[in-house]
Structure 1
Amino acid sequence: MLDEADYERDDAAPIDMLESYFSAHGWDYERQDDEVIAKVKGSWTQYELRALWRDEDSVIQFLAFPDIRVTDERRSALYETVGLINEQLWVGHFEIWSASNILLYRHAAMIDGDGGTLSLAAAELLVESAIDECERFYPVFQFVLWGGKSPKEALAAAMTETQGEA
């Protein structure tokens, strides 16, 4: 977790704040106008994080792409899995892009006011909640895609709480 001492200020234009956040973490990133893209290593896979700012709507759209491609044979099972998972999410959602069979997590946040700013706390919440949800549900998607489990079985298996350490 970073604190405000890692930044010159505690709020900035949304893409500027996210760029600073990525930089402070030492993540590889690219900036293109109103978009910033970062690569992050998670516990299960590498994630591409992408933030897009729509000034005319004052909305920041945040996307997290786990390295998961949906096979045609398992597509309907993955749609069911996405539906079951999305029922459990309060913020954001998973979806499958139909043209490319890519699974992603998406969240949009409205930023108050004309030329609004994003605080460090809001940037951290946006980024970390996306990564956390991808990490939390990655095994579920893998159980359905490669483990031959039904969506309900995969969700139950992946969400089982373990006690102690091995």
Structure 2
Amino acid sequence: MLDEAEFDREDAAPIDMLERYFAAHGWSHEREDDEIVAKVKGSWTEYELRAIWREEDGVLQFLAFPDVRVADERRVSIYEAIGLVNEQLWLGHFELWSSSGILLYRHAAMIEGEDGGNLTLEQAELLVETAIDECERFYPVFQFVLWGGKTPTEAIAAALIETQGEA
């Protein structure tokens, strides 16, 4: 969480707000006019976060890439795993880009307003944290299928077990 006392809470254009959000976290990022890319270290891997603003449609598309590439021979199993995982999600979805075998999480937000649409700190935080949280939560499912020899059903069952207590 950000120290909100030190963060400019004033609403801003979507890419401007995300740039401030990434900078406040100390995450490396690069910005172009309507797009921003950041790198974030998670507990499983490093994630590339990418946001693309389409002002004419009032849509902010947010993508998270968990550094998973799927070989052709594993795609059927991963597509099944993606289907099972997506049933668990309230926001966004996972998908596999067919041309490159890259797995990603994608979510789009409609941002409307008279001034072309602004993003609040709360909206930025929801977009970013939801993407990271879902990637962290389901990364093991994809790894169990790709490297652990588990079926998608076994993988999701193993990954969603909630532990109790501390070791």
Q: Please report the TM-score for the alignment, with normalisation by the length of structure 1.
A: 0.97
After TM superposition, list the pairs within 5 Å mapping 1:123-138 onto structure 2: 123-138=124-139
Instruction: Tell me the equivalent position of 2:56.
Output: 56
Q: Matched residue of 1:11: which SS?
A: coil
Aligned pair count reads 166
Distance 2:78 2:67 in 1: 15
Q: Say yes or no: does 1:108 pair with 2:146.
A: no
Aligned equivalents of 2:23, 2:35: Cα separation in 1: 15
Q: CA deviation at 1:7?
A: 2.5
Q: Report runs of 4+ in structure 1 exceeding 3 Å deviation.
A: none
- Over aligned residue pairs, what C-alpha RMSD do you find? 0.9
Query: Which residue of the partner structure matches residue 84 of structure 1?
Result: 84
- The one-letter code sitting in structure 1 at the alignment partner of 2:86 is N
Distance (whole Å) between structure 1 residues aligned to residue 85 and residue 6 of structure 2: 35
Matched letter for residue 52 of structure 1: I
Partner of 1:158: 159
Which runs of 5 or more residues in structure 1 are unaligned? none
Residue-by-residue CA offset, 1:37-66 (whole Å, 9 max, x unaligned): 000000000000000000100000000000
Q: Any gaps of 5 or more consecutive residues in structure 2? A: none
How far, CA to CA, are the matches of 1:9 and 1:121 in structure 2?
9
- Identity across the alignment (%): 76
Alignment check: 8 A CA contact 1:70 1:102 kept = yes
Which residue is equivalent to 2:67? Answer: 67
Query: Structure 2 length as normaliser, TM-score?
Result: 0.97
Aligned residue number for residue 144 of structure 1: 145
**Equivalent residue letter for 1:53:** W
Equivalent residue for 1:5?
5
Question: Structure 1 residues 9, 157: closer, same or farther in 2, change over 3 A?
Answer: closer
Q: What is the CA–CA distance in structure 2 between the aligned matches of 1:9 and 1:43, rounded to whole Å?
A: 28
What amino acid is the match of 2:142?
F
Amino acid at match of 1:55: E
Q: CA deviation at 1:71?
A: 1.4
The equivalent of 1:28 in structure 2 is 28
Name the aligned partner's letter for residue 17 of structure 2. Answer: M
Residue 26 of structure 1 and its aligned partner are, at CA, apart by: 0.1
Provide, for residues 105-140 of structure 1, a one-character-per-residue CA deviation record: whole Å limited to 9, x for no partner. 000000022411000000000000000000000000
